[in-house]
Structure 1
């Protein structure tokens, strides 16, 4: 458990082929089902203070309490993910902590010397920040706001994993405006 933010809730893997990664995680590891979005709608995205329009594909599934996130960059905009792959890496890129009080926890991390390197928002109550202070070479910390529709979606993903029988291993992301 982090003394700053509580338990790690997500492990984020940057992969060269998300479809292959979903097949591996569900078929070999038994983790699933994955909820897949071929183009995550990221708003207010910045990297090092500059605005960009990323095109990332994301798949989410739970393995118990921990959520597994698979990420494939589909364009070359600057990001923590692109820095990771440009350095010759793929695999575990970040650990994420979830919060319902984003402003408080962001201020707490900044007070500890962490600086936001990449940030954005996915839907209402879905802000995120990646910090530049690395915990391990190639691995960084994400703070993710999880409440409202995003929180309900994460609850749905975890519930789907409980007792999952291996059927229908890849499913579309639910529409956040309808949950």
Structure 2
């Protein structure tokens, strides 16, 4: 699957319970194992140009050639997640597809020129920056953009490698 000439690296769903969603996806599709990262530590985050607290947790697993993420947000702070799934709503579903780009700032500008404006820009405490561009008008979901740093590609490789020859046991694993 390719969006804008870039292969889709990850498909992510916003859900109320990341562990339950990971178990359900595993039961139906055999995906996994899933690595759960609770309260992902961020250095900072901006939603539509305003600094926000962005407390979220994710479960990452492998499904064939693509990573699957189930994500939830803790609290009601504005975010790219809340743009689609307001706090207190029973709605959940597809939120974004992740793409790797060579230059994050240039990609943000290129997508904005295609009527996909920047919704959120964040940086993890380990220095990985990522952006959500709002592609709802044309694609029905957000796009997440990353530069493929060694840390990021190493994480994707770890998740992919854990799925190789996996026997289906221990589908949920906690990350510290």
Calculate the TM-score normalised by the size of structure 2: 0.87
Aligned to 2:73: 73
5+ residue gaps, structure 2: none
Q: Deviations over 1:76-96 (max 9, x none)?
A: 111121222227531111111
TM superposition outliers: structure 1 runs of 4+ over 3 Å: 110-113
Aligned-CA RMSD value: 2.0
Aligned to 2:42: 42
Q: How many residues align?
A: 172
In the TM superposition, residue 35 of structure 1 has moved relative to its aligned partner by 0.8
Does 2:139 match 1:136? Answer: yes
Q: Deviations over 1:51-73 (max 9, x none)?
A: 11121110111112211110011
Q: Kindly tell me: are residues 124 and 38 of structure 1, through their superposed partners in 2, closer, same or farther at Cα, counting changes over 3 Å?
A: closer
In the TM superposition, residue 43 of structure 1 has moved relative to its aligned partner by 2.2
Mapped contact 2:19–2:172 kept (Cα < 8 A): no
Q: Deviations over 1:101-127 (max 9, x none)?
A: 323433432343432111101244521
Does 2:107 match 1:109? Answer: no
Calculate the TM-score normalised by the size of structure 1: 0.85
Q: Deviations over 1:107-152 (max 9, x none)?
A: 4323434321111012445211111232333x12111233122221
Mapped contact 2:6–2:99 kept (Cα < 8 A): yes
Higher strand share: 2
Q: Deviations over 1:39-58 (max 9, x none)?
A: 10122201111111121110
Q: Kindly tell me: are residues 83 and 107 of structure 1, through their superposed partners in 2, closer, same or farther at Cα, counting changes over 3 Å?
A: closer
CA distance in 1 between counterparts of 2:126 and 2:33 reads 24
Aligned to 2:97: 95
Aligned to 1:2: 3
SS at match of 1:7: strand
Aligned to 2:84: 84
Does 2:13 match 1:13? Answer: yes
SS at match of 2:8: coil
5+ residue gaps, structure 1: none
